[in-house]
Amino acid sequence: MLWSNSFIPTLREVPAEAESVSHQLMLRAGLIRMLSAGIYSYLPLGLRVLDNIENIIQQEMNSAGAQELLLPALQTQELWQRSGRDKEIGEVMIRFTDRRGRKLCLGPTHEEVITELARTHIRSYKQLPLILYQIQTKFRDEIRPRFGVVRACEFIMKDAYSFDKDDKGLDKNYNLMLGAYQRIFKRMGLKFLTIEADPGVMGGKVSHEFMVPAKSGEDLEVGHIFKLGTKYTEALGARFLDDKGKLQPIIMGCYGIGVSRLIAAIIEQSHDEEGIIWPWEVAPFKVLIIPVDVTDKKMANEAAKIYARLSKENIESLLDDRDERAGVKFKDAELIGIPLEIIIGKEAFKNGKIELKRRRDKKVFFTDRKNLVKKIKQVMKDEAKP
Ligand code: ATP
Ligand code: MG
């Protein structure tokens, strides 16, 4: 992508309304913009990060044997009355009546909807076990939306649900999800803690939270998994015939990840004074090409050639072809945090060496034109190791 025709509105100043480092950097690097408290737009760079996070989650969920589906964000209040959670969830759930008089709500979570689906389609133990998941926008009227996407009123969650015929099956699926979560967070470069937690409003007995310690002292929960047991299936009547022909309630587990909150968690753990330092797998681009002066034809041509070479190799790169001072470009580069920078200055033509700079530790490497792609691939290989 060419920076000159991209929408990457970076900010020099620290926005006054942002209390946490991640919130400040997400605004400054042009990842998000606020529409109103707790309501955010994801700009192109932010969306690229979100897509990368979702890809990692999909890969790990699929390889654990879970299947993706997409449930409606609109739900009926009647379903929540049947599960018995209508009162408990209270004001957090956004409710309204449509023009037909249907009492609806915007899904804050999906245990009810998925259990209703299971109720109407799972008849026999032969259809179990099953793990279904989705990546979807959730709505919660939070009392105090804060820290940008950390606690928002509209946010993206990955929610998975397991269905089993007995406790042994639930234990197996629960451990499978626990392992998948650990791989997911590791691939995102996160240092995290897995701790036993209180199941709270979800119900059930066993639950684990995945916590990401932040420098600010705020620990931001990025995932939460629960052994629900039969709470929802009993309330909604989701039963199956066991191998003896007896009707039994399906045994459930549920597994959530705060997809959009993860962007903030990653930044909290991976930044410096100048800006974001993206871990390799989630980086919006892997390489940033910086011709120091684009009015110099030779430099601009060299940069364009390198950009074309990397595109051919499927290495996602951003070319800073803006007619800006070198200082501005370097500052923006540090701010948006692309892992590898290729700097094309006058030196490149004096001694034929191209400068590579690693964002994480500012280490500089030199390589000649011929070996550039080889060198980048070598750095990529090292960086991709979690
Ligand atoms: P919290 O304890 O932070 O209020 P929760 O326990 O209500 O979260 P869950 O219902 O377990 O959240 O949802 C699964 C995941 O969704 C959480 O682990 C969290 O990462 C994310 N999440 C929950 N609420 C929000 C929100 N308002 N904004 C962004 N992400 C959220
Ligand atoms: Mg929770």
Q: Which amino acid is at 46?
A: G
Determine the atom of ligand 1 nearest the C-alpha atom of 142.
27
85 in helix, strand or coil?
coil
pTM over 0.85: yes
Find out whether the beta carbon of 275 lies less than 6 Å from any atom of ligand 1. no
Within 8 A by CB and 6+ apart from 74, the residues are 104, 105, 106, 107
For 87, 95, 106, 109, the CA distances from 73, given in Å and listed in that order, are 20, 12, 6, 9
Residue 222 Cβ inside 6 Å of ligand 1? The answer reads: yes
Half-sphere exposure in the Cβ direction for 120 (13 Å, CA): 5
Q: Which of 139, 201, 261 to mutate to test the pocket of ligand 1 (most atoms within 8 A of CB)?
A: 261
Q: Quick count: other Cβ atoms within 10 Å of Cβ 134?
A: 17
Is the CB of residue 142 below 6 angstroms from any atom belonging to ligand 1?
yes
Please give the Cα distance from 215 to 250 (Å, whole number): 42
Q: Tokens 């051919």 appear where? A: 312
Please list the pLDDT of the chain residue by residue as tens digits (386 residues): 999 999 999 999 999 989 899 999 999 999 999 999 999 999 999 999 999 999 999 999 999 999 999 999 999 999 999 999 999 999 999 999 999 999 999 999 999 999 999 999 999 999 999 999 999 999 999 999 999 999 999 999 999 999 999 999 999 999 999 999 999 999 999 999 999 987 776 666 789 999 999 877 778 899 999 999 999 999 999 999 999 999 999 999 999 999 999 999 999 999 999 999 999 999 999 999 999 999 999 999 999 999 999 999 999 999 999 999 999 999 999 999 999 999 999 887 788 889 999 999 999 999 988 999 999 999 888 887 75
Ligand 1 pocket test, candidate residues 57, 136, 221, most atoms within 8 A of CB: 221
Ligand 1 site, residue 207, Cβ cutoff 6 A: no
